[in-house]
Amino acid sequence: MAESAKFILEVTAGLIPGRPDDAYTKRWAITGQEWADHPEPSHLLAETNGKAQGYAALLMLQPDYLNWVRMDWVLV
């Protein structure tokens, strides 16, 4: 059985606004078990968020290929 997610973060980007290019889409997830087992869950959240923001920043440096970058997250 698949483990439920506690936090999901997704970065999408593309050339045409509103049409993400799958080649630039990345997702990060923290499972409920990882959240429960971590001594400081907020630090785990910050670390995961930092990875995603770093990736989004790298995509922003590619204006020849991309016109937009978006980051969405859900914490349940």
pLDDT in tens, 17-74: 989 999 999 999 999 999 999 999 999 999 999 999 999 999 999 989 999 999 999 9
Q: What is the pLDDT of residue 5?
A: 87
Instruction: Please list, residue by residue across 43-70, b when 16 or more beta carbons sit within 10 angstroms of its beta carbon and e when fewer do.
Output: ebbeebeeebeebbeebeeeeeeeeebe
Measure CA 13 to chain center: 12
State pTM to two decimals: 0.88
Which has more confidence, 38 or 75? 38
What residue spans of the chain are helical by DSSP H?
A: 32-37, 41-60
